[in-house]
Amino acid sequence: MGTRLKGAAIAAAALVVVAGCGSDSAPPPTAPPAADLPSVEVSTVLDGLDHPWDVVTAADGTLLTGERGGRFVALLPTGERRELRADLGDLFARGETGLMGLALVESAQGRKLFSCQGFQDGGQNDVRVVSWTIDPQWTELIRTGTVIDGFPSTSGRHGGCRILPIGNDLLIGTGDSAQPTVSQDPESLGGKVLRVDAETGLPTAGNPYGDSPVYTLGHRNVQGLAVRPGTDEVYSVEHGPTVDDEVNLLEPGANYGWKPDRDPSTYDESVPMTDPDRVPGAVGAVWSSGPSTIATASGTFLDGPQWGAWNGALAIGALKGKRVVLLRLSPNGHTVDAETTVPELDDTVGRIRTVVTQPDGSLLVTTDNGGGDDRILRVRPR
């Protein structure tokens, strides 16, 4: 039987840490290894990087990543590594905010990239989604406009920010900027999942709040979005405060219960991640890390028969936990039937930011250790 709020980390005496900052202090223990999980081979695809937040793959096999501090790097199918020219002169890169989530959309008209990034201009700063075209030779990104802006950002904390293309739309996970009233404020774009038209940035027709881009609210810092294969189920992955990293099944208009304003002037990180007592009707998580946190930072679904019984499981990258967690969801998607980790990645490559499934069923994994020593890895079942 599945269990809601199942956690990898039911530790007897969990240390209290601030998970939203991705602290490396005392992550909870890993789940027992699964006997039916195939062993994997881990290889380095691209190295010498600094905080590569996301990675996308083009139809021609080119990989493109963006470093949080402001650089685009491509790896061509020939093996050539190339830094692409791009106008990032207004990038706001501080703390957890900078060049973050990427989404690549290809068509007969060419390649379009969407990036979620911090922005600054004089005294103004926010987080926004920017659109680019990529020249056919993979030498330059040409900025074509701002899709949507106004995600709050002041200190660089809790900037989000994952982008998921769905049809002609973009789903965008945002952070609450560590401000106490943002997540529950329907007028703010922080602490939300947004749904907008990819071309115009306008709210998608049928959004739950009329002419608002807000799709769901009551989130803390959404850093993962993924669609379960063969369904229309969308899951968010987000950082908890001192407890309860969460995976949530998104329902239009739902409130996921983050409300850190017990004192309206104070960002109170001692409250539960989902608090139905203070947020009536708050939707409980499908999975929670429990009384400690691992700083869950991304999500993707395994998709290939080579994963055996774990084909279709949700894979989650963990910063503080330095691992990839696998969750086998119940058929209805509301509970977790089994949980494990990829043993070959348990505290072997450092902090893990992004995991993303590839067309051949392998995973690409970005590390987030800093200092120019980060890598993009390929994880392939043997």
CATH number for the domain that contains residue 364? 2.120.10.30
- The CA distance from 70 to 50, in Å, is 10
Name the nearest CA neighbour of 186 among 268, 254, 278.
254
How many domains are there within the chain? Answer: 1
Q: Is residue 170 domain-resident?
A: yes
Q: Is pLDDT above 70 for 11?
A: no
What pLDDT is attached to residue 14? 32
Summarize the confidence of residues 345-373 as an average pLDDT.
98
Across the range 164-183, mean pLDDT stands at 97
Q: Which residues does 45 contact at the CB level (< 8 Å), separation at least 6?
A: 63, 75, 364, 375, 376, 377, 378
Radius of gyration of the CA atoms of the chain, in A: 19
30 pLDDT tier (thresholds 50, 70, 90): confident
Q: Is residue 11 in some structural domain?
A: no
Q: Residue 211 domain-assigned? A: yes
pLDDT at residue number 220: 98
Does 210 have pLDDT greater than 60?
yes
pLDDT at 29: 75
Identify the band that residue 22 occupies on the pLDDT scale cut at 50, 70 and 90. Answer: low
287 compared with 12, residue with greater pLDDT? 287
Please tell me the least confidently modeled range out of 5-9, 137-141, 360-364: 5-9
Q: Are 82 and 106 in contact (CB under 8 A)?
A: no
Question: What does the alpha-carbon distance between residue 366 and residue 350 come to, in Å, rounded to a whole number?
Answer: 10
Average pLDDT over residues 110-122: 96
Percentages (nearest 5) of helix, strand, coil residues in the chain: 5, 45, 55
Q: How far is CA 313 from CA 79, 236, 329, 338, in A?
A: 31, 14, 7, 9
- Confidence (pTM): 0.93
5 occurs within a structural domain = no
Q: Per-residue pLDDT for 227 more than 60?
A: yes
Q: What is the mean pLDDT of the chain?
A: 92
Provide the pLDDT for residue 27.
Answer: 72
Q: Which residue has the tokens 């043993």?
A: 343
Residue 42 is assigned to a structural domain of this protein:
yes
- Cα gap 252→250, rounded to integer Å: 7
pLDDT of amino acid 327:
98
148 pLDDT exceeds 50? yes
Q: How far apart are CA 100 and CA 114, in angstroms?
A: 10
What average pLDDT does the segment 212-221 reach?
98
Q: Print the domain residue range for 66.
A: 19-381
The answer to whether position 8 is within a domain reads no
- Residue 304 inside a domain? The answer is yes
